């Protein structure tokens, strides 16, 4: 049986104490977002996921979705859970009140996302894709399309998808073949095939709104000739109800390694009626509004699964009796000690804990910048926030999902053989976590995006949004009695990041393969330093807070102990990553292709 309790205490620590939720009230639209309101939302979200979503997670994984003659049915319990989710107003919490949403900031809603991903990742994909489609439309669609579709999508009675991938092309969308022919009345006839479409067909809602990439007849070749179209499953009537069936059909669903409760569909568009979203041939710009949001959300999926796996591993380690502690029996009244007394089990649990809590803190920092980027009235402040978000998006997507999979695997190891079988539900976390490293751009693509686009952008301007606060923090805390000992390791790791950045910039200008060969290690190195910075900030804050009257001393001391573990046992990986980067492309490219 799976175990999950939303980590509300840690979420409140990040939101209120580390990031500072009080500052949210200074942003337009957040004037009433108080700490009490945030806590109430988090507590209600916790009830939703523990009472409604988590109980059906394992059964849905075993049952999966079913397909018959173009009809897809979600697992038992999903339709009822979705109805509860929508009736509670959760589908619109992050959406503009203009369209019926509640307008809560990302600083809050990202933690609701994390809870949902921990409790039931497959279920979360249905509303998650809808929100991505909402964002793309809200930024790029005409007012007419917005007024017709967004209220229904925000309410949750209609869901959304993103239809990019085709059988012959994934990341390289320049090869896309789906066509859009003008109908003469402002609409277009969309024809082509798409694969790997999450939530492309299901029985949870009365209509599904597809955002489809396609080419107009006069489109230039490559990605510069791609446009974005809105294609509903049912053409809405004048009064906003689903009308005639459109020319879009699900021709099958994939039988996957994980996320069995999520319908991953093959879609056929046969002269389907659609409407242009944004400008002709500018579809990639519109789609990336959706995709960048989705990449941050996919990072949250990695964190969510990692947290659920951690909690299950801790529960088992406390209960499983096996052997005696190396220093003598800790529980002499029992036939053996629980395995949590063993150093290697502790190493495993501490590793998962340190990564999860570090990622949660970094997620909070990025979410704060999302709010500033979307809401601030200061153009310079908005630009800095946009720079930071652009830089951190590939890191959050790749680092969090790599760690989510690693943490789920480590949690299975705590269970031993009992983790490998289905009974405890742990092996599901490994299977579910694996896809997050692949979709929305594989993690290798994220690394290339970081070194190929984000590093050189605007002569390194994006980098300054991260480098400057980290350097300022190190300089300001070298002599701090509580965290001074961590500043040396953090400074050394940050120095390696600076050197690696310069190395890639210099080598990459002469030979792009050098940058490509270093990309994955560089992203991991960057992520390790980012987590180190967050852990240093958390350790400093915990040291201060534990001395306040009525302080939760146990919580703050646990935070400080976990910070110590991160700096002593995990951050040293930076040295080997820097060593691999310096080695260059030679050993990667040495073998002739025919030898593989």
Taking the C-alpha atoms of residue 208 and residue 203, their distance in angstroms, rounded to an integer, is: 10
- Cα first-last separation, the chain: 43
Q: Within 10 Å of residue 337's Cβ, how many Cβ atoms?
A: 20
Radius of gyration of the chain, Cα coordinates, nearest whole angstrom? 24
Burial class from Cβ neighbours inside 10 Å (0-12, 13-18, 19+) for residue 473 reads middle
Contacts of 379 (CB under 8 A, 6+ apart): none
Instruction: Determine how β-strand 66-68 pairs with β-strand 71-73.
Output: antiparallel
Helix (H, G, I), strand (E, B) or coil at 550: coil
Residue carrying the six token digits 């059909």 = 249
Contact 441, 171 (CB under 8 A): yes
Burial class from Cβ neighbours inside 10 Å (0-12, 13-18, 19+) for residue 128 reads buried
Q: Within 10 Å of residue 206's Cβ, how many Cβ atoms?
A: 13
Q: Within 10 Å of residue 502's Cβ, how many Cβ atoms?
A: 10
Contact 331, 337 (CB under 8 A): yes
Instruction: Give me 87's structure tokens.
Output: 């009736």
Enumerate the active-site residues.
Answer: 440
Contacts of 258 (CB under 8 A, 6+ apart): 61, 428, 430, 431, 432, 433, 434, 435
Taking the C-alpha atoms of residue 176 and residue 156, their distance in angstroms, rounded to an integer, is: 30
Contact 129, 162 (CB under 8 A): yes
Q: Which of 275, 301, 322 is nearest to 128 (CA)?
A: 301
Contact 454, 390 (CB under 8 A): yes
Taking the C-alpha atoms of residue 414 and residue 346, their distance in angstroms, rounded to an integer, is: 10
Contacts of 3 (CB under 8 A, 6+ apart): 308, 311, 312, 315
Helix (H) or strand (E) holding 351: helix 343-375
Helix (H, G, I), strand (E, B) or coil at 275: strand
Taking the C-alpha atoms of residue 102 and residue 112, their distance in angstroms, rounded to an integer, is: 14
Residues pairing with 277 in the sheet:
228
Contact 309, 426 (CB under 8 A): yes
Residue carrying the six token digits 């190395």 = 503
The DSSP code for 75 is P
Instruction: Determine how β-strand 207-214 pairs with β-strand 158-163.
Output: parallel
């Amino acid at each position: 049986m799976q175990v999950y309790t939303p980590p509300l205490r840690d979420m409140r620590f990040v939101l209120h104490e580390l990031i500072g939720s009080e500052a949210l009230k200074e942003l337009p639209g957040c004037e009433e977002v108080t700490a009490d309101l945030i806590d109430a939302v988090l507590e209600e979200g916790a009830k939703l996921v523990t009472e409604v979503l988590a109980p059906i997670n394992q059964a849905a994984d075993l049952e999966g979705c079913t397909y018959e003659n173009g009809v897809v049915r979600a697992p038992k319990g999903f339709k009822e859970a979705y109805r509860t989710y929508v009736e509670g107003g959760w589908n619109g919490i992050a959406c503009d009140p203009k369209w019926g949403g509640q307008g809560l900031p990302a600083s809050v809603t990202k933690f609701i996302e994390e809870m949902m991903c921990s409790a039931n990742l497959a279920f979360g994909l249905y509303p998650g894709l809808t929100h991505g489609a909402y964002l793309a439309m809200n930024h790029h669609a005409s007012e007419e399309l917005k007024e017709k579709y967004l209220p229904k999508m925000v309410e949750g009675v209609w869901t959304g998808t993103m239809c990019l991938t085709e059988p012959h092309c994934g990341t390289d969308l320049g090869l896309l073949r789906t066509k859009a022919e003008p109908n003469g009345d402002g609409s277009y006839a969309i024809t082509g095939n798409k694969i790997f479409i999450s939530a492309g067909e299901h029985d949870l809602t009365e209509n599904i709104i597809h955002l489809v990439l396609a080419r107009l007849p006069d489109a230039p070749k490559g990605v510069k000739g791609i446009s974005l179209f809105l294609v509903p499953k049912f053409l809405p009537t004048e009064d906003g109800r689903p009308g005639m069936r459109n020319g879009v059909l699900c021709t099958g669903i994939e039988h996957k390694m994980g996320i069995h409760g999520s319908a991953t569909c093959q879609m056929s568009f046969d002269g389907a009626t659609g409407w242009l979203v944004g400008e002709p041939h500018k579809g990639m710009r519109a789609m990336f509004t959706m995709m960048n949001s989705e990449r941050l959300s996919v990072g949250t999926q990695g964190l969510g699964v990692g947290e659920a796996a951690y909690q299950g591993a801790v529960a088992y380690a406390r209960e499983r009796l096996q052997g005696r502690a190396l220093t003598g029996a800790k529980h002499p009244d029992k036939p053996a000690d629980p395995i949590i007394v063993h150093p290697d089990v502790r190493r495993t649990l501490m590793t998962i804990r340190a990564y999860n809590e570090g990622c949660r803190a970094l997620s909070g920092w990025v979410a704060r910048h999302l709010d500033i980027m979307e809401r601030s009235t200061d153009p310079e402040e908005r630009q800095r926030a946009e720079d930071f978000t652009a830089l951190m998006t590939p890191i959050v997507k790749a680092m969090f999902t790599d760690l989510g999979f690693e943490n789920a695997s480590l949690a299975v190891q705590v269970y031993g053989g009992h983790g490998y079988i289905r009974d405890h539900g742990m092996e599901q976390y490994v299977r579910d976590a694996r896809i997050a490293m692949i979709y929305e751009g594989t993690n290798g693509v994220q690394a290339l995006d970081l070194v190929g686009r984000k590093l050189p952008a605007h002569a390194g301007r994006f980098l300054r949004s991260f480098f400057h606060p980290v350097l300022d923090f190190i300089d300001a805390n070298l002599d701090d009695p509580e965290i001074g000992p961590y500043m040396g390791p953090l400074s050394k790791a940050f120095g390696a990041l600076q050197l690696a950045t310069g190395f890639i910039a210099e080598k990459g200008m002469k030979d792009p393969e050098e940058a490509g060969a270093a990309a994955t290690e560089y992203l991991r190195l960057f992520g390790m330093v980012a987590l180190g910075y967050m852990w240093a900030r958390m350790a400093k804050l915990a040291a201060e807070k534990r001395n306040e009257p009525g302080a939760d001393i146990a919580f703050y001391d646990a935070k400080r102990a976990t910070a110590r573990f991160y700096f002593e046992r995990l951050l040293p990986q930076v040295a080997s990553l820097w060593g691999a980067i310096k080695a260059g492309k030679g050993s990667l490219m040495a073998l002739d292709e025919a030898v593989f």
